[in-house]
Amino acid sequence: MMFCALSSAKGMNVKMDKTWTTIFYQETNPVRRMELLRENTGNGERKEEQYRNQLWIARYGKSSPVKDEFVGCLLDLKYLAEVITIDWGGKRRKQGMQIIDTLGMSEIESRDELYHKILLEELQNVFLKYIEVSRNGRDFTSFVFGVGQLTEEGIAKKIAQQINMIAFQAPHLLHMDKEFALLQEAALLAFRQLYPNKEYFSENNLPF
């Protein structure tokens, strides 16, 4: 009887953990995310708690979230995609390495499977946030200089183009596709979650 009770309790804990983490990784409001994390984090001994806390601090800092460093990294990659021609002295590649480090992807091959899973979920959330901010920006959804409005189809295509610049074009220009592979996977997961019936990416993950 004792074994059955323990097994049942363990199964319930796993189910509850999956429920709150699903909400956590779909939530884009950082304050609400912080509340969810605090409400569902124990004494910090479990690996998954340690990994989530590490990534939280890397993204938002130790105090109340004000600046989102991970979204900032996406903007940096977009900028690199726009300005890279020839990388004299490897300056741009150094910037790429710094972005990888900020996003928690440095030495990713040596990390365990659980860390990969949690980081992938966090990076997917970063793209969900980026897409949300883009969709709510009048300049982004207008034709030019805030005049006219793009259709939903036009907005989806524009987001696909931006994701390509951030997750694929910039890493390719930096010759760092392998290092950014997890970010690329997260980008496609986020886009296909929000636009399940709009496939703008070909087999090599580039927009049509």
Question: Hey, what are 1's tokens?
Answer: 């009887």
Task: Please tell me which residue, 31 or 43, carries the higher pLDDT value.
Answer: 31
pLDDT score of 199: 72
Class of residue 13 by CB neighbours under 10 A (exposed 0-12, middle 13-18, buried 19+): exposed
- H/E stretch holding 53 reads helix 47-60
Structure confidence by residue, pLDDT tens digits, 111-150: 999 999 999 999 999 999 999 999 887 777 666 555 567 7
Instruction: Decide if 184 contacts 167 (C-beta within 8 A).
Output: yes
Q: Is the pLDDT of residue 100 over 50?
A: yes
User: How far is C-alpha 61 from the chain's CA centre?
Assistant: 16
Using CA atoms, how far residue 185 sits from 29, 80, 123, 168, in Å, is 22, 19, 9, 10
Question: Hey, what are 158's tokens?
Answer: 């524009």
DSSP letters along 90-147, please?
Answer: GHHHHHHHHHHHHTT-TTGGGS-HHHHHHHHHHHHHHHHHHHHHHHT-HHHHSSBTTB
* 3-state DSSP assignment of residue 198: coil
- Predicted TM-score of the model (pTM): 0.84
pLDDT score of 141: 63
Structure confidence by residue, pLDDT tens digits, 139-179: 776 665 555 677 888 888 889 999 999 999 999 999 999 99
Q: Is the pLDDT of residue 4 over 90?
A: no
